[in-house]
Structure 1
Amino acid sequence: MKEPIIVFDRQFGNADNYRIPSLVVTDDGTLVACADERFFTCADNPNRIDKVVRISTDNGETWSEQITAVKMQGKDKQHSSAAIDPALLYDGETDTIFMLYSMTPAGIGILNCAKGTGFEDGGIIVRGGGKKYILRDGELYRKGQPTGIKVDKDGNYEGGNVLTREGGLSVHRTSYLMLISSKDHGKTWSEPVHLNPSLKADNYHFIGSGPANGIQIKHGKYKGRLVFPIYYGLAKLPMKLTSAVIYSDNHGKTWTRGATPPIKGRYPADKPIIMPMRTYLTESQVVELPSGDLLCFMRNHHPKRRIYVSRSTDGGATWTEPEFCEDLPHCVCQITAIACEYEGKYAILTVNAASTEKREKGVARLSLDEGKTFPKSLTITEGEFVYSSAQILKDGTVGVLYEDCTKHENIKFTKFSLDELK
């Protein structure tokens, strides 16, 4: 295994804390790495969290200067907006990189998101001073009439900001699923597109990406489909979290949300009211099987401390009841999973914190039987290990972008050959 190098930290960026690695490889071998740049603390939102990117054209040996793909606003932890938890996806048919993430206004995190999409009458709901407005086409409307109050793309208006609550006006206090894209391998990025109106149900509170990666289906009936894992909450506390995917058949123009996997212990099964924590499904990653079927590897809160795996035969629209993978221990933490080839055969590679007690012992594992067992492994580190993202590089090695410190002061990159897994 190659000696790890630091890709994100204070020496390259603007903050002291970096989290949530995401890595993608384009058809010409360009690596695009993304992370949360966290300004006032290493913690999740509420916090100011930007999306930052670095690029490598030599299989991760050297990296470009840091690029800010999404810049948020704010002066302190409680009065800042956040763009949290990236997932990158490469569309090889259009040579486009997509980034999915969750945006929240000041003071909002996974534990206190209000219910709803945040949209009404074709615009974003804004409240302040006991009044309700609709932000549409850069202007606030009240009762269908323009107010003359202009709001720019960063949320600024004269005297305040609707994302940081400065000035007294605030967008609906929930989480927003956002999508941006790059046509030049990560150098520049589009303006964010709101996905809540089409994907978030009115009864959802939190919604977010399954951080690390999405995929493009390469075989079968759904060839070309883009698939991102997500998860969402049906309440505040307890949050009632569950997983799903979103998918697009028109290269990201429109998206559809698939069903959540059925799981025993929820009642009623289709629209659960009773939903014990042991049935929660959260951050997940999706891989494609040779048939075009999908496997979803899910973080969960079951005391068994094994990753759940579910299968879809319809491109992510529906899923089988999840089963535990005995070879994939976890400590209620994110897992990376990618499809690859080993000795001419289909394989699945996973990377995660393999302890059942705490976030430590980063291990890569290889399956040669479509995810049933993972007999081959390589320990990346015996020490602290948290989130990761892996890809097969142009030179045939595995590249892993990962967190190996719970202080979250940097994100590292290493490479190894699949032959090193024993």
Structure 2
Amino acid sequence: MNKRGLYSKLGISVVGISLLMGVPTLIHANELNYGQLSISPIFQGGSYQLNNKSIDISPLLLDKLSGESQTVVMKFKADKPNSLQALFGLSNSKAGFKNNYFSIFMRDSGEIGVEIRDAQKGINYLFSRPASLWGKHKGQAVENTLVFVSDSKDKTYTMYVNGIEVFSETVDTFLPISNINGIDKATLGAVNREGKEHYLAKGSIDEISLFNKAISDQEVSNIPLSNPFQLIFQSGDSTQANYFRIPTLYTLSSGRVLSSIDARYGGTHDSKSKINIATSYSDDNGKTWSEPIFAMKFNDYEEQLVYWPRDNKLKNSQISGSASFIDSSIVEDKKSGKTILLADVMPAGIGNNNANKADSGFKEINGHYYLKLKKNGDNDFRYTVRENGVVYDETTNKPTNYTINDKYEVLEGGKSLTVEQYSVDFDSGSLRERHNGKQVPMNVFYKDSLFKVTPTNYIAMTTSQNRGESWEQFKLLPPFLGEKHNGTYLCPGQGLALKSSNRLIFVTYTSGELTYLISDDSGQTWKKSSASIPFKNATAEAQMVELRDGVIRTFFRTTTGKIAYMTSRDSGETWSEVSYIDGIQQTSYGTQVSAIKYSQLIDGKEAVILSTPNSRSGRKGGQLVVGLVNKEDDSIDWKYHYDIDLPSYGYAYSAITELPNHHIGVLFEKYDSWSRNELHLSNVVQYIDLEINDLTK
């Protein structure tokens, strides 16, 4: 199996069968259109209602089950599932053989998996992936499309759900599911173990087909889907990233919808890692999206489609030497028409945890901030980057023969210097970072550079003159908290462009403070406005909306289990004390919240829409919460709560925007990104379209 495993919407249709005297009947293969499938199924059927009672299909299946490779194709719904339930099972039901069975199972958290067990052969396999299913969308049960391929030739067990390969496991000792000792039962909605029904299911199986063959990737791709979502960024796209996190959405004045995201190459880990910022756009209200490009990237490490291990031994492995970008935010400047994107920048091997908190990375000289550099072999940062990129020796206050260009690359005597690029792989049970032979321009953010920046965090800005079709080289913003303080951390999502002025605002955070970055000249210069918050170590990621001219409401993550807010009534110059929203719960560590001001009236009032998990027990239970604004005092009544999916299904960082047609676009992490059990999941950042009537029912 290839590793991308993405379906195209082509191919087959399957019709249902009926129940006659309680026994399912078989539909003949010639009644179905199997498109490009090269073999007919040995069994097909549907629709079946599962209500905590199994359906026995043994007479229709078992005598046809043969060979050493099989495929199961299933379309099913489960919007009120049991905590653990089997969708399909093959088993030896005799006494003494309770551990001889195959099952396709799911959990009410959205996990999907298989068990392949044969006690006599010493086989006990369990393969699964969390955050793989949909339960409901717009209040209706979602039909999930599952394909399980048991391939004896490659000794692999592979599962696809809704067009996404969720796992592919290769084993040394392969057991065909048809060769489990003593199989005498084939059941839907349970597994028969020693004559008793186990893992009873609730839901429905709309269609199921079985094949005595491992169908090919191409055949898998021909199976049609009923997905409520699409993928803007996906494994194997032009970014060559396998993982994505921290989505943003922003609707430009032209009607183009722009999205940015972390393209992550070292699993889903934060920095330190290799992470680029990718963007894509839509010109048709989010129906189709452009091929992703990079807004910010480094070249010290290769862009590789690496499958990060999820086992307990290796899942915590992190790329230790790469520079990275992380946590982007977008705003459009209406005066110049350009789009501005900010992101945090981390030098090689640096992340939030190990960034130098007592150094900005800059030196102030005569009221100007200059980037500091340390040369290999030195103990101190003896150099600064002055006007025109000239590197000065601070001990002599004289220019050197080195310069830094607008890409932060190092030149000696006008000639570009290079370093050897790195690649990564897993060799002999450990992560290996090795040179790959390719020379790339030397950059002061790279670990092998002759000159290096201070190992702390920075904020970078890039702009686009063509609404996200291309991006300029990034520039570092100066420090806002002085020389002896590291940079503030950018709040991912949207910046704010005030309606009645040319003011642009991005919100950032540091210990005990939200720091607002304000520009009145299209991003040429920035100043800060500080607002105290009662949390010293909180990741206080925040988003702003303009309630009315000059009145800004900021919503932000806290460590209290609640979403906090503050208000400015003077266009961001000063801020109120912190208050909290009732009726929405988060965990003690919190989660980023997304917010927009809706352009249309709802129930005759102006409205704000929040996107957030609503759960105390994890990043799950995603909701869009509609608040109606009271003009008298700018208070908000949080009237409507729309469930994105089931309360037990994952929902972490998210982005929302009002589309030109007044629908709401939602791009979100459909998993619990805090859970160590849900690290390194591909294709879980998904996009949906909602009408405002969906939210206010």
CA distance in 1, matches of 2:290, 2:549: 38
CA distance in 2, matches of 1:156, 1:362: 43
Among 268, 280, 283, the residue aligned to 1:57:
283
Compared CA separation, residues 414 and 256, structure 1 to 2 (3 A)? same
Output the amino acid matched with 1:124: L
Among 316, 321, 345, the residue aligned to 2:572:
316
- Tell me the equivalent position of 1:391: 657
Residues 8-407 of structure 1 mapped to structure 2, 5 A cutoff: 8-12=233-237, 13-75=239-301, 77-114=319-356, 115-120=358-363, 121=365, 122-128=369-375, 129-130=377-378, 131=380, 132-136=382-386, 137-143=388-394, 144-157=397-410, 158=417, 160=419, 161-167=443-449, 169-197=451-479, 199-219=480-500, 223-232=501-510, 240-261=511-532, 263=534, 277=537, 280=538, 282-302=540-560, 305-331=561-587, 332-340=590-598, 341-343=600-602, 345-369=605-629, 370=634, 372-382=636-646, 383-405=649-671, 406=673, 407=680
Range moving further from structure 2, 385-394 or 160-169: 160-169
Compared CA separation, residues 91 and 328, structure 1 to 2 (3 A)? farther
State the shift of 1:60 in Å.
Answer: 0.7
State the shift of 1:152 in Å.
Answer: 4.0
Output the amino acid matched with 1:253: Q
Output the amino acid matched with 2:372: I
Deviations 1:66-123 (A, max 9, x none): 1111111333821111111001112233322111111110111111221232122453
CA distance in 1, matches of 2:252, 2:643: 27
Q: Is the 8 Å Cα contact of residues 241 and 281 (structure 1) preserved in structure 2?
A: no
Q: Is the 8 Å Cα contact of residues 242 and 682 (structure 2) preserved in structure 1?
A: yes
Q: Is the 8 Å Cα contact of residues 512 and 533 (structure 2) preserved in structure 1?
A: no
Q: Is the 8 Å Cα contact of residues 362 and 483 (structure 2) preserved in structure 1?
A: no
Range moving further from structure 2, 305-314 or 199-208: 199-208
Compared CA separation, residues 159 and 68, structure 1 to 2 (3 A)? closer
Compared CA separation, residues 262 and 209, structure 1 to 2 (3 A)? closer
The number of equivalent residue pairs is 396
Q: Is the 8 Å Cα contact of residues 460 and 475 (structure 2) preserved in structure 1?
A: yes
SS state at 2:344 partner: strand
Q: Is the 8 Å Cα contact of residues 21 and 402 (structure 1) preserved in structure 2?
A: yes
CA distance in 1, matches of 2:263, 2:533: 35
Compared CA separation, residues 362 and 317, structure 1 to 2 (3 A)? same
State the shift of 1:21 in Å.
Answer: 0.6
Q: Could you tell me which runs of 5 or more consecutive residues in structure 2 were left unpaired when the two chains were aligned.
A: 1-137, 139-226, 302-317, 411-416, 420-442, 674-679
Output the amino acid matched with 2:362: F
Q: Is the 8 Å Cα contact of residues 498 and 549 (structure 2) preserved in structure 1?
A: no
CA distance in 2, matches of 1:363, 1:19: 19
- TM-score normalized by the length of structure 1: 0.88
Identity of matched residues, %? 25
CA distance in 1, matches of 2:651, 2:570: 34
Compared CA separation, residues 138 and 249, structure 1 to 2 (3 A)? closer
CA distance in 2, matches of 1:394, 1:179: 27
RMSD of aligned Cα (Å): 2.0
CA distance in 2, matches of 1:408, 1:342: 39
Output the amino acid matched with 1:254: T
Output the amino acid matched with 1:252: G
CA distance in 1, matches of 2:399, 2:267: 39
Instruction: Indicate the structure whose relative CO is greater, using CA pairs within 8 Å and at least 6 residues apart.
Output: 1
State the shift of 1:241 in Å.
Answer: 4.7
SS state at 2:531 partner: coil
Q: Is the 8 Å Cα contact of residues 230 and 246 (structure 1) preserved in structure 2?
A: yes
CA distance in 2, matches of 1:152, 1:249: 27
Q: Could you tell me which runs of 5 or more consecutive residues in structure 1 were left unpaired when the two chains were aligned.
A: 233-239, 264-274
Q: Is the 8 Å Cα contact of residues 211 and 283 (structure 1) preserved in structure 2?
A: yes
CA distance in 1, matches of 2:483, 2:559: 25
Deviations 1:342-376 (A, max 9, x none): 33531000001111221111100000035533120
Range moving further from structure 2, 140-149 or 354-363: 140-149
SS state at 1:95 partner: coil
Q: Is the 8 Å Cα contact of residues 348 and 371 (structure 1) preserved in structure 2?
A: no
Compared CA separation, residues 276 and 191, structure 1 to 2 (3 A)? closer
- Tell me the equivalent position of 2:158: none
Larger Rg: 2
Deviations 1:207-228 (A, max 9, x none): 2211111111114xxx331111
Q: Is the 8 Å Cα contact of residues 262 and 319 (structure 1) preserved in structure 2?
A: no
SS state at 1:419 partner: helix
Output the amino acid matched with 1:8: F
State the shift of 1:292 in Å.
Answer: 2.7
2:231 counterpart of 1:6: yes
CA distance in 2, matches of 1:97, 1:349: 23
State the shift of 1:408 in Å.
Answer: 4.8
Q: Is the 8 Å Cα contact of residues 329 and 492 (structure 2) preserved in structure 1?
A: yes
- TM-score normalized by the length of structure 2: 0.54
State the shift of 1:141 in Å.
Answer: 2.0
CA distance in 2, matches of 1:316, 1:44: 30
Deviations 1:126-169 (A, max 9, x none): 11312521123334321322221344444443354421220453
